Amino acid sequence: MRSSSNFRLSFDCTCNHSHFRNLDRRNALVCTVCGGILTSCAPADEVKLTSIHCYREMESATISKEDCNKEKPDGEVVRLQRKIGLVPAVSFIIGTVVGSGIFIAPKGVLMNSGSVGLSLLVWALCGVLSLFGALCYAELGTSFTKSGGHYTYLLETLGPLPAFLRLWVEFLFIRPAVASYVSLAFGRYVVEPFFAPCPAPMALIRLVSLLGLTFVVAVNCWSVSMASRTQVTLTFIKMFALVLIIIPGCIALGKGKTENFQNGFEVDLLTLDRLPLAFYNGLYAYGGWFYLNFVTEEVINPNRNIPLAIICSMVTVTVFYVLVNVAYYTMMTPAELLLSEAVAVTFANRTLQGLASVIPILVALSCLGALNGGFFAVSRMLFVGARDGHWPPIFSMIHIRRHTPLPAVLFLYPLVVLMLMTGDIYQLINFASFPRWFFIALTTLGMLIHRYRFPLHPRPFKVSWIIAITFTLVCFFIVGLSLYSDPWSTGISCALTLTGVPVYYLTVYRYRLPHRWRRIFNYCSKQLQILLEVVQQEVQTY
């Protein structure tokens, strides 16, 4: 390649910027603002170029990449902003973990454990196991300071194919199924009190669920600060709901109401094949402890705040969960709890006469908080995957003023709406359980392998070998349990996961899309970029 003062560079770009970087996969230069590909090459420090803005030729100019942002105040540079401190981080984890699970799952834990005492032990052990997993992710989050969670850690430790498959299954069926399930729980708890004791119309439940989902998407599109404040507010509301359950139960227990705890470890109904299912139900209620790692690039001082937030939040959730179950068993017999479809509502009707109508609303808001946290986190996973070349580049762009990953958030919305309106959500939840735990197991296994292969890699926070190995073995045990208890659903989820292999080979590994398809795809991407007012980050945030 020749380089001279009058060297003109064709820049297939939808913006007027000259920020660019090498793309190893295509051996080209790409504008980091809009993703436009440089069709010729020149020195990256200083080039003579002809920019095209909305396909109109601009003046030739010499621009140094070091000078691109020097005139901009830090708040105006287009990038993800670090706005999540310790309190919002704790609220983020608690608000995502405490969803509908604690208000529904006690029935499944009791049914499969066979006794009150064992069910309480299961709840405590599930909290400890979740804390172990969260500590492993704290090490990963401080070792690799990129957002993206599972995807990023699999990419760094085991390579691109497992990372792409995790990204693939997340948006193929895991996230639509989970978000639809939580949205329906929100709609059900809002609508059903108005129709009790008659069943509520399913169409109305879906409509209210859709309204809640739309609210969450709008908040996440509008502002990172607004999404963070919403999460903090909803977290305080759901903790207030748990306190409303705990206080009357503890008062009654203090007055000697302990008959339901007599013979608490009676195991006549216990069978070995059902006890793991009790842990399965309990771990579902603790799900979400890993979501803070999806937004690492937006956490202030992540090396300090990620481990602190994880420890504080998981200890708090575990204590509250055990106390809530103690309150349930104090005021309700095991038989009554097993007959209840919504344990928290049954508890409120029995003990909180004046506030019985408030509990369903608080539970609904709890579901809304879990939905908000999930959307906030998973959109960053898609954002990072696109930034690393594993998803279309449009999804690695952020809004020029609001600094939110707008395309990534909006991509999730129609998937969840489609599932909410037409899909068999409960069947997909069964499909989603296997790949979720399988990839968590792979992630922690990758952490152990990386620690062995690269012992000098900086690790500001380091978890004990015993904790990491124990959690990894438990995860693989859960995967094996899925194969044993429901081989049909597990087989289907395996098949759905493996559909990502040819997609990876064609679109990432070999990049062999037909030229006409690429032209159509690039045109659509440019039009979406103009419509949504989004660009690539102007500075690196990890």
Q: Report, as an integer, the average pLDDT of 233-249.
A: 90
C-alpha 169, offset from chain centre? 13
* Residue 295 in tokens: 């937004």
> How far is it, in rounded angstroms, from Cα 306 to Cα 138?
6
Instruction: Tell me what percent of the chain is helix, strand and coil, each rounded to the nearest 5.
Output: 65, 5, 25
User: For 208-213, which contacts have Cβ atoms below 8 Å and span 24 or more sequence positions?
Assistant: 209/180, 209/183, 209/184, 209/420, 210/183, 210/417, 210/420, 210/421, 212/183, 212/186, 212/187, 212/364, 212/367, 212/368, 212/371, 213/179, 213/183, 213/371, 213/413, 213/416, 213/417, 213/420
Helix (H) or strand (E) holding 246: helix 224-254
What global pTM score does this model have? Answer: 0.80
Asked if residue 417 has pLDDT above 80, the reply is yes
Top pLDDT among 75 and 408 is at 408
Helices of type H across 423-464: 425-453
> How far is it, in rounded angstroms, from Cα 247 to Cα 93?
23
DSSP code per residue over 79-101: S----B-HHHHHHHHHHHHSSSH
Q: 460 exposed, middle or buried (CB, 10 Å; 0-12, 13-18, 19+)?
A: middle
Which of 66-70, 138-142, 296-300 tops mean pLDDT? Answer: 138-142
DSSP reduced 3-state for 265: coil
pLDDT computed for residue 264 by the predictor: 67
Residue 478's pLDDT band, with cuts at 50, 70 and 90, is: confident
End-to-end CA distance of the chain: 32
- Lowest-pLDDT choice from 199-208, 252-261, 379-388, 512-521: 512-521
* Residue 232 in tokens: 């903090």
DSSP reduced 3-state for 38: strand
Q: Are 329 and 116 in contact, with CB atoms under 8 Å apart? A: yes
Candidates 267, 268, 278; CA nearest to 108 is 278
* Residue 152 in tokens: 């990023």
Q: Report, as an integer, the average pLDDT of 203-212.
A: 92
Asked if residue 29 has pLDDT above 50, the reply is no
> How far is it, in rounded angstroms, from Cα 55 to Cα 361?
52
| Angle (CA) 289 181 393, round 5° | 70
Q: Are 30 and 23 in contact, with CB atoms under 8 Å apart? A: yes
Neighbours of 505 (CB within 10 A): 14
For each of the domains in the chain, give its residue range(s) and CATH number, in order of start: 10-71 (no CATH), 86-525 (1.20.1740.10)
Q: Which residue reads 């399988």 in tokens?
A: 438
pLDDT computed for residue 542 by the predictor: 66
Q: Report, as an integer, the average pLDDT of 184-196.
A: 85
* Residue 518 in tokens: 């690429």
Summarised one tens digit per residue, pLDDT across range 106-125 is: 888 888 887 888 889 999 99
Q: Report, as an integer, the average pLDDT of 295-307.
A: 90
One-letter identity of residue 262? Q
Neighbours of 73 (CB within 10 A): 7
Q: Report, as an integer, the average pLDDT of 332-359.
A: 81
Residue 17's pLDDT band, with cuts at 50, 70 and 90, is: very low
pLDDT computed for residue 136 by the predictor: 95
Cα-Cα-Cα-Cα torsion 349, 355, 357, 362, nearest 10 degrees, comes to -110
Asked if residue 467 has pLDDT above 90, the reply is yes
